[in-house]
Amino acid sequence: MQYLPDTIQDYNEYRVNIADYIATIIIVSAVAWLVLYLFYGYWFVGLLGIPLSFLAPKFRKQSLIKKRNQRLISQFNEMLYALSGSMQAGKSIEMAFLAIYKDLELLYPESKTEIMRELRFIAANLNAGIPLDVLLKDFAARSHEEDIESFVDVYSTTKQMGGDLVRVIRSTSETIADKVEVHNDIEVAIASAKFEHKVLMFIPLGVILMIRTISPGYLESLYGSIAGIALSTVALLFIGLAWVMGNKITDIKV
């Protein structure tokens, strides 16, 4: 099936612009250099952290994908609300998809909003004669989101068996709304814990920086011996492990 060209995309991919890519590498390189310099005491040791900074854009990309997909689910839920209302007014589901763009434009005036791109894509291809169920299955496959995939599966089954599409759409919308609300409640509940985690990660760096500023010779014995270097390495590994574990603990999926 040949689709009309548009801003169609796979939601497991993200195009990071070159400016953001370079800025991420520069910032992470600076932080890596500072951390290694503070722990080992020699400026050239800090240079060893710079190659690791080239991995940072990958992690930032994953973070941006996650945030975008969370927005997509929330927008998809608003779309279902509008779709249900339009169908209750007597429109077929195909006509409802063509009509709700203007309704959602009031809520999402930015044309680059994910759901607005998808609605434009669906409308253009519906007018070109491509069946709605094909377009929805394509959207679900690109979204990689369980809620959207489940809705499309239920929609296809209901349409084939002649069920109540309005009830199905309303029920799906309510389910997604509940999940979004639970997710938001969790984010609010753990927001302070996330902030405290980040602060605690930087406290050791702040302490070392303060000591080096107030009494530069205090840490010379630590930097100038094999035992000191080993101790610094173990401390740095524990801080890194605490960072990874803290992020995993606060990454709660609904």
Angle made by CA atoms 230, 232, 238, in degrees to the nearest 5 = 105
pLDDT in tens, 165-180: 888 888 888 888 888 8
Q: Is the pLDDT of residue 254 over 70?
A: no
Quick count: other Cβ atoms within 10 Å of Cβ 80?
23
Decide if pLDDT at 4 tops 70. Answer: no
> Two tokens at 173?
């919308």
In a domain, 172, yes or no: yes
pLDDT at 148 > cutoff 50 = yes
Could you list the residue range(s) of the whole structural domain that residue 237 is in? 18-250
pLDDT of residue 2: 46
pLDDT at 233: 87
DSSP notation for the chain: -PPPPSS---TT-----HHHHHHHHHHHHHHHHHHHHHHH--HHHHGGGTGGGGGHHHHHHHHHHHHHHHHHHHHHHHHHHHHHHHHHTT--HHHHHHHHHHHHHHH---TTSHHHHHHHHHHHHHHTT--HHHHHHHHHHHH--HHHHHHHHHHHHHHHHT--HHHHHHHHHHHHHHHHHHHHHHHHHHHHHHHHHHHHHHHHHHHHHHHHHH-GGGGHHHHTSHHHHHHHHHHHHHHHHHHHHHHHHH----
Record the tokens describing residue 152, joined without a space.
């499309």
Whether pTM exceeds 0.85: no
Q: Is the confidence at residue 250, as pLDDT, over 50?
A: yes
Tens-place pLDDT, residues 205-243:
888 888 888 877 777 777 777 888 888 888 888 888 888
For the chain, what is the domain count? Answer: 1
Confidence of residue 7 (pLDDT cuts 50, 70, 90): low
Assigned domain for 43 exists: yes
Query: Does residue 179 lie in a domain region?
Result: yes
pLDDT at 115: 92
Q: Looking at the domain assignment, is residue 3 inside a domain?
A: no
pLDDT at 243: 85
pLDDT band at 3 (very low <50, low <70, confident <90, very high): very low
Q: What's the mean pLDDT in 33-61? A: 84
Please check whether residue 4 lies inside any domain of the structure. no
Distance from C-alpha of 238 to C-alpha of 35, rounded to nearest angstrom: 14
Q: Is residue 126 part of a domain?
A: yes
Mean pLDDT of 138-152: 90
Residues present in the chain in total: 254
Please, are residues 14 and 68 in contact by the beta-carbon 8 Å criterion?
yes
What confidence tens digit (pLDDT) does each residue in 56-114 have?
Answer: 888 888 888 988 998 999 899 889 888 888 888 888 888 988 889 888 988 888 878 89
What is the distance of C-alpha 230 from the center of its chain? 37
Residue 220 CA to residue 212 CA, distance in Å, equals 10
Residue 58 is assigned to a structural domain of this protein: yes
Give the pLDDT confidence score for residue 72 in this predicted structure: 92
Handedness of CA 30, 34, 37, 43 (dihedral sign): positive
- 220 within some domain: yes
| Average confidence (pLDDT) over 48-52 | 82
Q: What is the dihedral of CA 149, 153, 155, 160, to 10 degrees?
A: 160
113-127 pLDDT, tens digit per residue, is 899 999 999 988 988
What pLDDT does 84 receive? 87
Mean pLDDT of 147-154: 88
Say how far apart CA 99 and CA 170 lie, in whole Å.
17
The per-residue pLDDT for range 8-31, each reduced to its tens digit, is 678 988 888 888 888 989 998 988
What's the rounded mean pLDDT across residues 183-189?
Answer: 81
